Amino acid sequence: MAPVLKTPRLALREMSPGDLDFVAAMLGHPEVMRFYPKVYSREEAGAWLDRQRERYARDGHGLWLVEDRATGEPVGQVGLMTQLVDGVKEPEIGYLIHRPFWRRGLASEAALGVRTWAFDTLGHPRVISLIRPENLPSQGVARKLGMTPEKRTQFHELEHIVFSVKRPIPA
């Protein structure tokens, strides 16, 4: 599948059913899922993958598979999802990198690419990330995107901090 976007080290593309082994391994990893309510079974990972494919069809985007450009190896999922937050549709940058690839700046690099794409290609005036209060690593990624905490909200019955950043106004 052709990439939706590329960064210096990464290519982001739509997921296909053939990506289930990687997605199931990542979503089934206790450390990767420590800020989610639970780890996912293979069947639940398949449903997750199907939801992303539904988002591609409905919204034109969702979480994309992130691949290392040098090796083609999948490293995680990063993308743009339309979320309903406090009754308002919001473009959310989501990121999840598999444990073997942590601490390399991959989430930040991919998410910066998605932020640029959301602003420059789709023309969104702002983007958000929904992050659990205890998820300090994800808050660090959000800050690298220029995001700041805006408010707290309940999302899927869990408390989240809404981080946001506005599109820069051209000079």
Predicted pLDDT at 171: 60
Q: Encoding tokens for residue 137? A: 């690593």
- Indicate the pLDDT class of residue 114, thresholds 50, 70 and 90: very high
Q: Which residue has the higher pLDDT, 100 or 1?
A: 100
Whole-number percent of the chain with pLDDT over 90: 92
pLDDT, mean over the chain:
95
Q: CATH assignment of 5-166?
A: 3.40.630.30
Question: At residue 60, what are phi and psi to the nearest 5 degrees?
Answer: 85, 5
Predicted pLDDT at 96: 96
Predicted pLDDT at 30: 95
* 76 membership: H or E segment, kind and range: strand 74-85
Please indicate, yes or no, whether the overall pTM of this predicted structure exceeds 0.85: yes
> What are the structural domain ranges in the chain?
5-166
Under 8 Å between Cβ of 151 and 79 = no
